[in-house]
Amino acid sequence: MKKTYIPSLLVGGLALALSACVTTPYVAPESGAVAELAVRITTAKGTGIKLYIYDDAETCSGAKTIIDDAGKTNITATKLAAGKLTTFGYDELMGISSCKVNFSFFPIADHIYVLDTLTGRRACTTRIVDATDVNNVLPVPLINRTMNGARCAPLKK
């Protein structure tokens, strides 16, 4: 999923918003059906980032922080509840530009997923692959929830 950067005139306000938006840390499920998630975030030096997961995947509410860091390559691992919709939010702030995307997918129990981000010229990209079989890594279809200015576009039913 690729999202174009949006110039911002309120850099200080946006930086404050990024730091104040999500403060509760994500706690991985300890029981039930789970999937593994590895996260690799690669950004340009000086880029502020946040990756979070929503308690309510349909309404994008109850954000919990997975990664909150600036200017570093981040690698982390966690678990996700399997068999139900999972929605992530990803924010980047680089200079006067920002990138904000929400995306969803349905994790399958006992699968291993890798979420990658990459900052390019005027865009940030997120993708998830199913790496359960390392000899046959498969792209995972994501549901783009950031459309037409909406941060949490409703799901098509």
Amino acid code (one letter) for 140: V
155 lies in a domain? no
Query: CATH no. for residue 29?
Result: 2.60.40
Q: Which of these, 91, 119, 71, lies nearest to 20 by C-alpha position?
A: 91
What's the structural domain count of the chain?
1
pTM of the model: 0.81
- For 89, half-sphere exposure in the C-beta direction (CA atoms, 13 angstrom radius) is 26
Question: Which backbone phi and psi does 119 adopt, to 5 degrees?
Answer: -95, 130
Residue 108 CB: number of other CB atoms within 10 A?
16
150 lies in a domain? no
44 lies in a domain? yes
Which is it for strands 74-81 and 34-42: parallel, antiparallel or unpaired? Answer: antiparallel
64 forms beta bridges with 53
151 lies in a domain? no
157 lies in a domain? no
8 lies in a domain? yes
DSSP, res 156: P
In tens digits, the chain (157 residues) has pLDDT values of 544 444 333 333 333 344 445 468 999 999 999 999 999 887 777 788 889 999 999 999 999 999 887 556 567 899 999 999 999 999 888 777 788 889 999 999 999 999 998 766 666 788 999 999 999 999 999 999 988 767 788 887 6
Summary count for the chain: helices (H), strands (E): 1, 12
Amino acid code (one letter) for 147: M
The residue range of the domain holding 62 is 2-144
